[in-house]
Amino acid sequence: MTILISLYLLLSDNVYARSLKSTADKLAKETTHIGTGVALFGLGLAAIYFMLGKQDASTKMTQAIAGTLILFMAPNIINFVKGLV
């Protein structure tokens, strides 16, 4: 049984599971997609606060825009930090 499992893992076409780096890269790509959805939701929620006339709407919008910018700049920030090392 162990031999069959070992052969399956060695001969499988799943390239992402063979190295830790490629798995981490795929995870980072997926979290970026999820983060984009959350950022758009935050911007929409801040816009609703503005329409309702809430007192802290400007704070919410500033935080949502800052978070969105950081999210979209994250790959560039990571590449910059990797270049320093």
Residues 34, 27: contact at Cβ < 8 Å?
no
In the chain, domain spans:
18-84
pLDDT of residue 51 exceeding 90: yes
Q: Mean per-residue pLDDT for 37-50?
A: 93
Q: What is the pLDDT of residues 55-81, one digit of tens each?
A: 999 999 999 999 999 988 988 888 888
Of 4 and 53, more confident: 53
What predicted TM-score, i.e. pTM, was given to this entire model? 0.63
Rounded to whole angstroms, the Cα distance separating 31 from 38 reads: 10
Looking at every residue in the chain, the average pLDDT score rounds to: 81
Rounded to whole angstroms, the Cα distance separating 27 from 13 reads: 18
pLDDT score of 23:
76
Rounded to whole angstroms, the Cα distance separating 43 from 17 reads: 35
